[in-house]
Structure 1
Amino acid sequence: MADTGEILVVIPARGGSKRLPRKNVLPLAGKPLICWTIEEALDAKLNARIMVTSDDDEILAIARQYESEGVIAYQRPDKLATDNASTADVLIDAVKAEQAAGHDPKTLVLLQPTSPLRNADDIRAALDVFREGGCEDTVVAVCEVDHPTAWVGTIGDASRLEGIDLSGKRSQDYRKEYRLNGAVYVVRTDCLVSSGSLFTERMCASVMPRARSLDVDEAVDFRICESLIGG
């Protein structure tokens, strides 16, 4: 069993968004999108410190509404609020801010606010894989793909479809495949800081249902989430 040590949950939320402007504060079923992730992080009861890192005053103000429950509203440096700033850089900055405040997180849990359907059970399940599964570096949440990747191809010249498996096999005849869904990441902080990356060759997977794996990137994703929550 891996020793997770002190846990830091990081919820990164920029103010800017090109395809769906201000998406992190848009009201989803009556509350800002980011609140769904903050509240599930609290509900997971990980005995963790929870940090919302943002460049945006409105997002930070929302995070401060949860300060009495232990949520930290952290204003990231301006250099980490650009399109070129990587998620890993933002996370490393969060770790260093915690260390400067006298804390020494051994495990970091990344929860992106664009996965509002991910729940506390999904968060705990990923951490369980990290603890119990012999994972050495990172656990990533995944979901089963809708169709075999053998059915995925490219379109070449003259609209020619290329690279598709034309054997006629049924979807159930292929081995199950999974994709990253972006909902939960669990990583050793020392691995993150030393490598500068969330990803390694020794990742483990925590499987989530497709129904909770929707990532809000465009307006249509937002509407689908509203429909699922309301349904």
Structure 2
Amino acid sequence: MSLCVIPARGGSKRIPRKNIRAFCGRPMIAWPIQAAIDSGCFERIIVSTDDEEIASIAQSCGAEAPFRRPAELADDHTPTVPVIADAITRLNLPARTPVCCLYATSPFVRADDLRAGRARLEETDAPFVLSVTTYAFPIQRALRRGASGAVEMFDPAQMQTRSQDLEEAWHDAGQFYWGRAESWTHHKGVFVAGAQGLPLPRYRVQDIDTEDDLQRAELIMRALQMDDAP
């Protein structure tokens, strides 16, 4: 068996009801649910939520919502790992069960990405496999801006270093995380020794935390849909 868990609490603040907000004609959560279905990776696709409306919409999109997340796991400060561990415990999964955490606000995730993540987990037996992408600009040349507007380099020693000579830096793409059930229940985070990064192209990675992020994401999605059109 393999399991997909989509965390989707109801109390998002910066974009109210973000997980079910309309996004290019569908509820936001519908996009990752469909990718999970299309991937063929999962025996079950479960939405962990405290919210009845989110549960109903998720079910209409093809996912399950067999329980309601307790309030202590549904506030602004709840990390992701305990939410996934809660679902694993409720379902009494064997330790070696592959479990994927798939974010509700990842409309750009693709079935191929999920299949590749599962394959990497099997090939490497890593504790976690997570989606990553590169920074668009060398982080070694980052600037600090003070209250007066004055700027200075975080690392002045890199001032004369050519961009192409600096090490490429990666960051969490925030779309999905594969791990065995035992990894989710034994670790407090996914950035542990041996975790593997699965590269995604930058043009398919967009955090959606503000209204500006949402508008940018919709523009990207429309461009991708046009590109994919026959």
Alignment TM-score, normalising by the size of structure 2 = 0.88
> Which residue is 2:196 aligned to?
204
> Which residue is 1:54 aligned to?
49
- Contact 2:29-2:105 within 8 A present in 1 as well: yes
> Which residue is 1:118 aligned to?
109
Q: Which amino acid aligns with 1:142?
A: V
- Contact 2:3-2:44 within 8 A present in 1 as well: yes
Correspondent of 2:78 among 62, 66, 85 = 85
Q: Which amino acid aligns with 1:140?
A: L
Question: SS of the residue aligned with 2:179?
Answer: strand
Correspondent of 2:126 among 136, 143, 147 = 136
Matched, 1:227 2:219: yes
Instruction: State how many pairs are aligned.
Output: 218
Question: SS of the residue aligned with 1:72?
Answer: coil
For 1:183 and 1:168, how far apart are their aligned partners in 2?
33
> Which residue is 1:27 aligned to?
22
Shift of 1:157: 7.0
> Which residue is 2:228 aligned to?
none
For 2:181 and 2:43, how far apart are their aligned partners in 1?
14
> Which residue is 1:39 aligned to?
34
Matched, 1:65 2:65: no
Identical pairs, percent: 32
Deviation string, structure 1 residues 177-218 (Cα, Å, up to 9, x no partner): 211111111112112212233331211110011111112111
Query: Please, which runs of 5 or more residues in structure 1 have no aligned partner?
Result: 1-5
> Which residue is 1:16 aligned to?
11
Q: Which amino acid aligns with 1:123?
A: L
Query: Please, which runs of 5 or more residues in structure 2 have no aligned partner?
Result: 224-230
> Which residue is 2:135 aligned to?
145
For 1:215 and 1:166, how far apart are their aligned partners in 2?
29
C-alpha spacing 1:44/1:151, structure 2 compared with 1 (3 Å): same
For 1:83 and 1:179, how far apart are their aligned partners in 2?
22
Shift of 1:58: 1.1
> Which residue is 2:159 aligned to?
166
For 2:32 and 2:101, how far apart are their aligned partners in 1?
11
What RMSD, in angstroms, separates the aligned Cα atoms of the two structures? 1.8
Q: Which amino acid aligns with 2:71?
A: D
Correspondent of 2:145 among 155, 175, 181 = 155
Q: How does 1:180-195 map to 2 (within 5 A)?
A: 180-195=172-187
> Which residue is 1:3 aligned to?
none
- Contact 1:55-1:75 within 8 A present in 2 as well: yes
For 2:147 and 2:58, how far apart are their aligned partners in 1?
50
Deviates more, 1:155-164 or 1:144-153: 155-164
